[in-house]
Structure 1
Amino acid sequence: MRRDTFLKSLAALAAAGALPLPALAAPNLKMLIPANPGGGWDTTGRALGKAMLDSKQADTVTYDNKGGAAGALGLAQFLSGSKGDPNSLMVMGAVMLGGLITSKSPLNLMQCTPIARLTTEYNVFVLPANSPFKSMADVVAQLKKDPGSVKWGGGSRGSTEHIAAAMIAQKVGVDPSKINYVAFRGGGEATAAILGGNVTVGGSGYSEFAEYIQTGKMKPIAVTSAQRISSVNVPTLKEQGIDVELGNWRGIFAPAGITPAQRKTLTDLVVATTKSASWAEALKKNDWTPAVITGDTFSKFVEDDFASLRAIMAKSGMTT
């Protein structure tokens, strides 16, 4: 058989489904994490990357940590350096929205391409093991007596724990602009400050404090969820008479300038990853609540959350 006839025969067989088509190569992905190592975004990005590899959705995943300014430094790098790259992703979430609002940043997150919300995690407030306080009631009593004497430690200005601290103050009759909030560049620094007793009370997602709570080095005193979190089993703020509920969601964006087809490919890849055993293991380990939404639904969610956070923060005196 002549070579051209042979090739035509193969093409016809493939078109008819008699021969398997070659599988598409898994992509080599780059994951920008706009925070220092050790925090929630870092944990999320690396857990997602591992699940992508484990489920064969990606051939390789490389990570780039660029912390600072509640994610704004990483966002600036992503906007300028990854435009049009269909193999780049950035971890982000509610903390980035809050940071952009408080800093009045000129950066426009929505110039990037929304891919998916992944999880929701609620904050837990903890005391250092050697704290003279024993409960959130003790903290509130001191807050009412002398707001500046209570040092709240957590992520960057505008983080969910910062917003929650301001909301707590407001709900118990304290001027939220008087709270003494100490912002740290990453979860690792905040954890060290709490363990060292350099702050009165610390706040973050449970996953960042889990090992220290379990070993008794931190005492959990409240969670910001509607119901108790089983792994922590401490009273919610609402149970303690403080009407505050606030979740910290995390998601994935792609760069500006990718095509609709490229966006769909990345979205399908991320959704497939969230259905993997590896991702299920990460959810359980970190006590994350799955909250996957994609496409225009995710875009609208981000825009609505921007507006909601801006209103909460303005009411709490955090945007002046």
Structure 2
Amino acid sequence: MRRDTFLKSMAALAVAGTLPLSARAAANLKMMIPANPGGGWDSTGRALGKAMQDAGVAGSVSYDNKGGAAGAIGLAQFVNGSKGDPNALMVMGAVMLGGLITGKPPVSLTQATPIARLTSEYNVFVLPANSPFKTMKDVVEQLKKDPGSVKWGGGSRGSTEHIAAAMLAHEVGVDPAKINYVAFRGGGEATAAILGGNVTIGGSGLSEFDEYITSGKMRGVGVTADARLKGFDIPTLKEQGYNVVLGNWRGVYGAPGITAEQRAALTDMVLKTVQSKGWAEALERNRWMPAVLSGAAFEKFVEDDFANLRKTMTQAGMI
């Protein structure tokens, strides 16, 4: 092939976004974070963006926080504003699935493009350090007496901590529809409410409460895992007699309408990043468990988890 013909071919591929990763300049990525600053999606998106830059697969990463409705507001903006953009990513996870089930927004997650699952973690329930309650049993006893008097603070309606609270209520014979759940648009708002004593009990991923539990500003009273989390002497709900086990995962999607080649290139960028030193450090720092899944396997996982969450939420009386 003549040199000028080769260069024209490469230029055409670059415009189409289909060059092999090794042959393309580092991308300028746009990261949609469908939550306010300070929460799990925010920390995941920014940690991933930094690791992508450190790994050399992204030249720059810009972030757009758009909180509300368990990520549905950010999803709508992403679906409507990023069509065909091969350099757009959106953070999402189990919380978004729960929110879509309860909220029925005008857009669907199926309109976006599955890229990869990244991490998994379990929720932890915490009390403010000065709470009159000391254990989950204390909270449950009050819940049985007067469900409305116990304010549960956490992420948007349909979040995993909301589902876990509803499951716990159902488990102890309280109508889940009667729980007083206070939804916040981001982890930072929820944390402030817990520390300020504006809610009775709060729930979220361990990574969001780690520093406050360690410093004694919050007291962990139950985790939604099968076994106690390493490094934390917090009993599981299951070992306390409440059969509530629920995981929380996070991942990323690409824009609607990108080509199969663009999807593959974006997936390669993410998979290269999660093998990097920078991402390994982020996992350790945030106590996230690696749970990488991509391609058709990730797509099927989302479909199955959506169905399982709907079943769980129905059984818990949420829908």
Provide TM-score, normalisation by structure 2.
Answer: 0.92
- The CA distance in 2 between the partners of 1:241 and 1:314, in whole Å, is 22
Alignment of 1:199 with 2:221, yes or no, is no
- Corresponding residue SS for 1:67: coil
Match of 1:76 in 2: 76
- The CA distance in 2 between the partners of 1:281 and 1:194, in whole Å, is 28
- The CA distance in 2 between the partners of 1:281 and 1:225, in whole Å, is 23
Structure 1 unaligned residues grouped into runs of 5+ = 12-21
Once the two structures are TM-superposed, the CA of residue 57 in structure 1 deviates from its matched residue by 1.3
- Corresponding residue SS for 1:165: helix
The one-letter code matched in structure 2 to 1:182 is V
Match of 2:170 in 1: 170
The one-letter code matched in structure 2 to 1:267 is T
Match of 1:140 in 2: 140
Once the two structures are TM-superposed, the CA of residue 165 in structure 1 deviates from its matched residue by 0.2
* Structure (1 or 2) with the larger CA radius of gyration: 1
Superposition map of 1:60-209 within 5 A: 60-209=60-209
Match of 1:35 in 2: 35
Regions of 4+ moved over 6 Å: none
- Is contact 2:170-2:317 (8 Å) kept? no
- Corresponding residue SS for 1:253: strand
Alignment of 1:310 with 2:310, yes or no, is yes
Match of 2:259 in 1: 259
Once the two structures are TM-superposed, the CA of residue 150 in structure 1 deviates from its matched residue by 0.8
The one-letter code matched in structure 1 to 2:274 is T
- Is contact 1:82-1:255 (8 Å) kept? yes
Superposition map of 1:45-60 within 5 A: 45-60=45-60
Q: State the Cα RMSD in Å.
A: 1.5
The one-letter code matched in structure 2 to 1:297 is A
Counting aligned pairs with the same residue, the percent is: 71
Once the two structures are TM-superposed, the CA of residue 106 in structure 1 deviates from its matched residue by 2.9
- Is contact 1:47-1:279 (8 Å) kept? yes
The one-letter code matched in structure 2 to 1:261 is E
Match of 1:17 in 2: none
- The CA distance in 2 between the partners of 1:105 and 1:64, in whole Å, is 20
Once the two structures are TM-superposed, the CA of residue 316 in structure 1 deviates from its matched residue by 1.7
Provide TM-score, normalisation by structure 1.
Answer: 0.92
- The CA distance in 2 between the partners of 1:151 and 1:205, in whole Å, is 18
- The CA distance in 2 between the partners of 1:174 and 1:111, in whole Å, is 37
Q: Which moved more, 1:101-110 or 1:195-204?
A: 101-110
- The CA distance in 2 between the partners of 1:104 and 1:64, in whole Å, is 23
- The CA distance in 2 between the partners of 1:63 and 1:307, in whole Å, is 31
- The CA distance in 2 between the partners of 1:27 and 1:137, in whole Å, is 51
Alpha-carbon displacement from aligned partner over 1:3-24 (angstroms, at most 9, x marks no partner): xx9x69x99xxxxxxxxxx842
Structure 2 unaligned residues grouped into runs of 5+ = 8-21
Superposition map of 1:223-262 within 5 A: 223-262=223-262
- Is contact 2:156-2:183 (8 Å) kept? yes
The one-letter code matched in structure 1 to 2:84 is G
Once the two structures are TM-superposed, the CA of residue 315 in structure 1 deviates from its matched residue by 1.7
